[in-house]
Amino acid sequence: MTDGALYRLDGKVAAVAGAGSGIGEAVALGAARLGARVCCFDLDETRARAVAERAGAGAEAASLDIRDGAAVAAAFDALRQRAGRLDVAVCTPAINVRKPILAYTEEDFERVMSVNVRVSFNVLRAAGRIMTTAGRGSIVLLSSIRSQVVEPGQSVYAATKAAIVQLVRTAAAEFAPVRVNAVAPGVVDTPLTAPIKADPHWYEAYAAKSILKRWATPDEIAAPTLFLVSEAASYVTGTVLFVDGGWTAIDGRFQPPGM
């Protein structure tokens, strides 16, 4: 196998949850370009179908509420039956309710936990059942820099992203030889971060926090994700790949005199 072939996904079947927009859309399109047969799952079927059309021949789409574990299991099993296999599963959806802890309601808490943790667990479990039976496959869940570093108003979101890390590590231990990893983005230009982008001061503050002094595009998160599901990452499992422009590598931006 040539070095370039290690990164290809020819002959693979990939399920992307949250493929209708943002990082999920970029992952689905990237997987298709690398040769995978992609199924675009999203609560918004219209958006999912639009992405599948762009992905080209062989791509398909379906509406799926990934908060419903039984529905996720049925959708993934149906895909396996249609395609004959399931090699890749990526779960991207998340929400954030930015409030101080003392202002959080039980409804806020349940909503963020339900979307961010439950959906990742549902995809992990559904894909894991199929892949462990087959003895092959790769799963990637989306964590965040907030699994490690926080700011006011990020309590429950940060907790969910830390929980995803531990789900990934445990699944990697239980599912082998199926590989399970997480990608932890920094700040990315997606629908989730639209309120930040709308505020110039907030937007620039986040851009300045990373070493690269800018936001990421969805494609810049999709590429490392696709590396993790490829054979180029065949010995990578149970890990968290930070794709954050150096956000978590530095402690402030002060440059000492003479440096």
The dihedral formed by the CA atoms of 98, 100, 103 and 109, expressed in degrees to the nearest 10: 60
- 157 is annotated as an active-site residue: yes
User: What is the C-alpha to C-alpha distance for residues 15 and 140, in angstroms, rounded to an integer?
Assistant: 11
User: What is the C-alpha to C-alpha distance for residues 96 and 191, in angstroms, rounded to an integer?
Assistant: 11
Is residue 139 within 8 A of residue 89, CB to CB? The reply is yes
Cα atoms in the 13 Å half-sphere on the side-chain side of 163: 18
User: What is the C-alpha to C-alpha distance for residues 186 and 8, in angstroms, rounded to an integer?
Assistant: 26
Contacts of 224 (CB under 8 A, 6+ apart): 183, 241, 243
Catalytic site residue from 157, 203, 206, 235: 157
Is residue 233 within 8 A of residue 179, CB to CB? The reply is yes
The residues that are catalytic are 157
